[in-house]
């Protein structure tokens, strides 16, 4: 018992708590629920972003100018959101009849091109089925065809017109910012903060449970505090990672099974596959370091809690502290500043803030390494301090205010 | 094996919880540590186990200074605590593993002890589903499962019914006969009197007596004659009304040098005793006298 750390004791505690945690009813229910939700997520995405059946927009061309041009135009599949052009409608139907059909929901919507005295008129007969985006897109397309016709009628060659109407090519470039990573960084850091808060509080709750059940005195007369403390914290962390991995696997499986088009995520800027090995490693190291730090803080504080009533009031402020990094990371996504740079080295905020700065190109590898080293050094220091709290807290059954590391505990 | 505590002193801020306390306990002898609430018993045990640091003093194991090997200690804490949601089997095997046992040996030992305590049927039950008395047994079992050499029980009789108290008394005798080194802390002096050979009486953080219980009773117990009557007793006898219409008279050895003569004298008074007993003072009476003396000194 002279040794501070026994690996055998640690592994006994670690395995017991890992089994206990992963076999607990709450854990299984939550995992199954989250896995089911992730399995369902692909169908939800498909429903929102998948290919939808497009309604026809019937073209009535009384000018004979547009139908051919439309049919010859190579329009991409997503040129219109919810309609496709249809040329099969009876061209001789009068406007009144077309309106009647739309009113009675027998047909439509219709796009009617007609010759007026001062030019060609486009009339859309619709009762709200066309989206404004599709109306605008159709108008733009028609304008373009009409412009082409007018240019040719005026004897100007299309090339001449194209050369004369050339516009500036505009692009805004910020070499320090990898704006393509915005959504990836956003999603991943959010996941990191939520997981850190959730699982570190679980570790704190477990120690509070041990304390309020007064079982710690029995346990710490069997093994040293440090292996027990580390065993509980790390097993709960690993059970959390197992839960996350199960959810991610279910998501991946469901995307594959349902054949969801992931390019939708790419269009939104979420490009997980484009993350470099460095970024993935940074994410994992910062995530694990953050979890360890907050778990050690939570378990240390929870070990001096005596009554179940005090658990929430003690752990909630720590959750708030862990959530601070969420808001600072939001600033870090937008721009770099002295404040966000400082917070990316401060261990209580560095996990997500440094990750965001690194993803957005605001921080280099050297800054990342320093931040990770500081984070792990703090976690290690907190583990030692926490185990001291833990061993002192074992026989402390007074109020938190009465607690002292010098051993002025209740007799 | 012999465990000695020498000059143990523990302060909590300005309050001295234990003041230069010395005593020992050894294999094959059941030793008790008794005292009033807050006298320092639990602090002494926690210091002995290294749960709280001592301010002064030392522990000797077989004459060698050093801490106890906690893996060989079976400790029943005053603050009872287990895992209420876990099954009896799961938590007891875990606690035995923490003491260095393999899971297979722990499982074998668990079956034996559950049978011994008559609660084998609760092996797979969550602890919280058991009665309070059976939960107490499980707690005690947790301290014995790993076959410890040193057994420290803090208030082992607390919360037990008379049948289970008797079970614990028999268990303590059995463990003592097996050569274990046992220290028991308790307020239940009549029970302590039944099982212990050595005793350490702590009063207000200090040792009021340490030594053989038998010698203590010889030294402080004297010889008494007690009788109870239902009729009023002459005032000179200093009778105490123990129940409505029931009086107890207690006479020390000095007043009764000859028991036969005393009996004759009693019959001559015309009193008809309901009960008559010749004995020494009980541990409880000696304890109260000792603690009272200490209180008077202070």
Say whether both A185 and A271 belong to one domain: yes
Please name which of A89, A39, A42, A63 lies closest in space to residue A261, comparing C-alpha atoms.
A42
To probe the interface with A, which of B39, B40, B51, B61 has the most A CB atoms within 10 Å? B51
CB atoms A217 and B79 under 8 Å: yes
Say whether both A12 and A145 belong to one domain: no
Min Cα separation B156/chain A (Å): 14
Please say if the pLDDT value at position B298 is more than 50.
Answer: no
| Weakest mean pLDDT among A56-60, A78-82, A103-107, B246-250 | A78-82
Which residue's structure tokens are 């509980």? A232
Give the confidence band of A410 by pLDDT, cuts at 50, 70, 90.
very low
Cβ contact B200:B210 at 8 Å: yes
Phi and psi torsions of B246, nearest 5°: -135, 125
Over residues A389-407, the pLDDT tens digits come to 877 776 555 555 555 544 4
Please say if the pLDDT value at position A6 is more than 50.
Answer: yes
For residue A222, list chain B residues with Cβ-Cβ distance below 8 A. Answer: 70-71, 95, 98-99
Min Cα separation A301/chain B (Å): 19
Residue A408 in domain: no
- B56-61 and B2-12: which strand pairing? antiparallel
Q: Is B43 on the interface with A (CB under 8 A)?
A: yes
Please name which of A355, A307, A357, A305 lies closest in space to residue A334, comparing C-alpha atoms.
A357
Tell me the residues of chain B between 58 and 77 that have a Cβ less than 8 Å away from chain A: 67, 69-71, 73, 75, 77
Over residues B225-234, the pLDDT tens digits come to 788 888 777 7
Domain that holds residue A60: 55-164
For residue A217, list chain B residues with Cβ-Cβ distance below 8 A. Answer: 51, 77, 79, 81
Over residues A7-41, the pLDDT tens digits come to 889 999 999 999 988 888 888 998 899 888 888 87
Give the confidence band of A408 by pLDDT, cuts at 50, 70, 90.
very low
Structure tokens at A409: 């505990």
Say whether both A147 and A191 belong to one domain: no
Say whether both A152 and A239 belong to one domain: no
Over residues B248-275, the pLDDT tens digits come to 887 765 555 577 777 777 777 777 888 8
Question: Of A135, A164, A193, which residue is a domain's last?
Answer: A164
Min Cα separation A384/chain B (Å): 17
CB atoms B77 and A214 under 8 Å: yes
Say whether both A78 and A215 belong to one domain: no
CB atoms B43 and A397 under 8 Å: no
Cβ contact A66:A91 at 8 Å: no
Phi and psi torsions of A152, nearest 5°: -65, -40
In this structure, the number of other CB atoms found within 10 A of the CB of residue A258 comes to 16
**How confident is the model at residue A328, as a pLDDT?**
92
Number of domains in chain A: 2
Cβ contact B31:B92 at 8 Å: no
Say whether both A98 and A247 belong to one domain: no
Over residues B167-207, the pLDDT tens digits come to 899 999 999 999 999 999 988 888 888 889 999 999 888 99
CB atoms B42 and A408 under 8 Å: no
CA closest to A210 among chain B residues: B83
Q: Which residue from A12, A394, A408 is facing B97, i.e. has the nearest CB? A: A12
Say whether both A90 and A136 belong to one domain: yes
Please say if the pLDDT value at position A261 is more than 70.
Answer: no
Please say if the pLDDT value at position A266 is more than 60.
Answer: no
CB atoms A1 and B99 under 8 Å: no
Say whether both A279 and A242 belong to one domain: yes
Residue A111 host element (H or E): strand A110-116
Say whether both A270 and A376 belong to one domain: yes
CATH number, domain B2-80+135-218, options 3.40.50.300, 3.30.1490.20, 3.40.1410.10, 3.30.200.20:
3.40.50.300
Cβ contact A114:A62 at 8 Å: yes
**How confident is the model at residue B297, as a pLDDT?**
42
Residue A173 in domain: no
Distance CA A312, CA A367 (A): 36
CB atoms A217 and B51 under 8 Å: yes
Cβ-based contacts under 8 A for chains A and B: 75
Over residues B75-89, the pLDDT tens digits come to 998 877 888 888 999
0.85 surpassed by complex ipTM: no
Average pLDDT, chain A: 81
- Going by C-beta distance under 8 Å and a sequence separation of 6 or more, which residues neighbour residue A265? A271, A272
Min Cα separation B70/chain A (Å): 6
Say whether both A278 and A391 belong to one domain: yes
Cβ contact A149:A97 at 8 Å: no
Identify the contact set of chain A against chain B, taking CB-CB distances under 8 A: 1-2, 9, 12-13, 16, 20, 213-223, 394-395, 397, 407-411
Distances (CA, A) of A357 to A195, A265, A306, A347: 19, 22, 41, 15
Spell out the long-range contacts of A365-373 with Cβ–Cβ below 8 A and sequence spacing 24 or more.
Answer: A365/A278, A368/A282, A370/A345, A371/A286, A371/A344, A371/A345, A372/A282, A372/A285, A372/A286, A372/A289
Could you tell me what percentage of chain A is helix, strand and coil, using 3-state DSSP and rounding each to the nearest 5?
65, 5, 30
Distance CA B141, CA B89 (A): 11
The alpha carbon of residue A169 and the mean position of all alpha carbons in its chain are separated, in whole angstroms, by 33
CB atoms B98 and A219 under 8 Å: yes
Please name which of A98, A300, A341 lies closest in space to residue A208, comparing C-alpha atoms.
A300
Residue A407 in domain: no
Say whether both A40 and A61 belong to one domain: no
Q: Stretch B22-40: mean pLDDT, rounded?
A: 91
Question: Of A164, A199, A229, which residue is a domain's last?
Answer: A164
**How confident is the model at residue A51, as a pLDDT?**
60
Q: Where are the domains of chain B?
A: 2-80+135-218, 223-279
**How confident is the model at residue B219, as a pLDDT?**
83
Over residues A134-184, the pLDDT tens digits come to 888 889 888 888 888 888 888 888 788 888 877 787 766 655 555 557 778
Q: Which residue from A9, A221, A397 is facing B75, i.e. has the nearest CB? A: A221
CATH of the domain at A60: 3.40.190
Q: Which residue from B71, B86, B97 is facing A1, i.e. has the nearest CB? A: B71
Distance CA A330, CA A313 (A): 27
Q: Which residue from B43, B46, B81 is facing A218, i.e. has the nearest CB? A: B81
Question: Of A164, A192, A227, which residue is a domain's last?
Answer: A164
**How confident is the model at residue B267, as a pLDDT?**
77
Distance CA A111, CA A113 (A): 7
CB atoms A411 and B95 under 8 Å: no
Residue A174 in domain: no
Dihedral (Cα; A155, A157, A160, A165), 10-degree rounding? 80
Give the confidence band of B91 by pLDDT, cuts at 50, 70, 90.
very high
For residue B50, list chain A residues with Cβ-Cβ distance below 8 A. Answer: 1
**How confident is the model at residue A83, as a pLDDT?**
83
Cβ contact A331:A353 at 8 Å: no
Say whether both A333 and A366 belong to one domain: yes
CB atoms B67 and A1 under 8 Å: yes
């Amino acid at each position: 018992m002279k040794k501070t750390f026994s690996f055998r004791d640690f592994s006994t505690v670690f395995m017991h708590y890992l089994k206990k945690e992963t076999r607990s009813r709450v854990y299984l229910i939550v995992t199954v629920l989250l896995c089911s939700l992730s399995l369902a997520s692909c169908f939800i995405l498909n429903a929102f972003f998948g290919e939808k059946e497009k309604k026809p927009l019937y073209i009535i061309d009384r000018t004979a100018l547009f139908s051919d041009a439309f049919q010859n135009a190579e329009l991409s599949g997503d040129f219109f959101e919810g309609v496709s052009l249809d040329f099969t409608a009876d061209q001789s139907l009068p406007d009144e009849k077309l309106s009647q059909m739309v009113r009675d929901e027998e047909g439509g919507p219709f796009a009617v091109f007609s010759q007026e005295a001062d030019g060609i008129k486009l009339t859309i007969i619709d009762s709200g089925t066309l989206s404004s985006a599709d109306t605008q897109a159709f108008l733009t397309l028609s304008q373009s065809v009409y412009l082409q016709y007018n240019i040719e009628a005026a004897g100007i060659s299309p090339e001449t017109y194209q050369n004369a109407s050339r516009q500036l090519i505009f692009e805004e470039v910020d070499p320090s910012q990898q704006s393509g990573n915005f959504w990836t960084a956003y999603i991943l850091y959010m996941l990191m903060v939520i997981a850190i808060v959730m699982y570190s509080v679980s570790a704190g709750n477990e120690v509070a449970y041990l304390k309020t059940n007064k079982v710690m005195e029995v346990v710490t007369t069997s093994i040293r505090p440090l292996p027990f403390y580390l065993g509980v914290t790390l097993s709960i962390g690993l059970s959390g990672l197992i839960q996350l991995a199960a959810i991610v696997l279910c998501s991946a499986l469901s995307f594959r099974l349902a054949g969801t088009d992931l390019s939708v995520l790419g269009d939104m800027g979420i490009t997980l596959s484009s993350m470099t090995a460095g970024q993935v490693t940074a994410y994992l190291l910062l995530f694990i370091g953050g979890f360890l730090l907050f778990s050690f803080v939570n378990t240390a504080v929870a070990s001096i809690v005596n009554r179940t009533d005090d658990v929430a009031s003690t752990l909630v402020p720590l959750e708030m502290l862990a959530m601070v990094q969420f808001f600072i990371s939001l600033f870090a996504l937008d721009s770099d500043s002295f404040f966000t740079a400082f917070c990316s080295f401060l261990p209580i905020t560095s996990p997500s803030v440094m990750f965001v700065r690194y993803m957005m190109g605001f921080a280099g590898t050297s800054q990342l390494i320093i931040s990770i080293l500081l984070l792990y050094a703090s976690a290690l220091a907190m583990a030692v301090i926490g185990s001291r709290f833990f061993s002192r807290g074992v026989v402390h059954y007074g109020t938190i205010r009465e607690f002292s590391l010098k051993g002025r505990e209740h007799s | 094996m012999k465990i000695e505590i020498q000059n143990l002193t523990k302060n909590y801020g300005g309050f001295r919880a234990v003041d230069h306390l010395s005593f020992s306990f050894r294999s094959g002898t059941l030793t008790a540590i008794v005292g009033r609430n807050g006298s320092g018993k639990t602090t002494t045990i926690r210091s002995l186990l290294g749960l709280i640091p001592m301010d002064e003093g030392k522990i000797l194991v077989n004459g060698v200074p050093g801490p106890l090997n906690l893996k060989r200690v079976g400790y029943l804490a005053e603050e009872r605590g287990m895992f209420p949601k876990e099954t009896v089997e799961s938590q007891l095997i875990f606690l035995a593993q923490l003491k260095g046992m393999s899971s297979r040996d722990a499982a074998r030992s668990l079956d034996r002890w559950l049978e011994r305590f008559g609660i084998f049927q609760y092996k797979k039950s969550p602890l919280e589903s058991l009665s309070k008395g059976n939960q107490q047994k499980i707690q005690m079992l947790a301290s014995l499962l790993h076959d410890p050499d040193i057994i420290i029980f803090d208030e082992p009789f607390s919360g037990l019914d008379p049948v289970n108290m008797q079970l614990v008394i028999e268990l303590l005798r059995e463990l003592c006969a097996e050569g274990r080194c046992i220290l028991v802390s308790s307020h239940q002096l009549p029970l302590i009197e039944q099982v212990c050979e050595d005793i350490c009486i702590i009063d207000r953080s200090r040792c009021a007596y340490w030594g053989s219980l038998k010698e203590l009773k010889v030294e402080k117990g004297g010889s008494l004659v007690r009788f109870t009557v239902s009729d009023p007793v002459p005032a000179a006898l200093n009778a105490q009304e123990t129940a409505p219409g029931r009086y107890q008279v207690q006479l020390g050895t000095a007043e009764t040098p000859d028991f036969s003569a005393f009996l004759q004298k009693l019959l001559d008074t015309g009193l008809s005793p309901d009960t008559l007993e010749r004995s020494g003072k009980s541990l409880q009476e000696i304890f109260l006298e000792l603690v009272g003396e200490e209180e008077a000194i202070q």
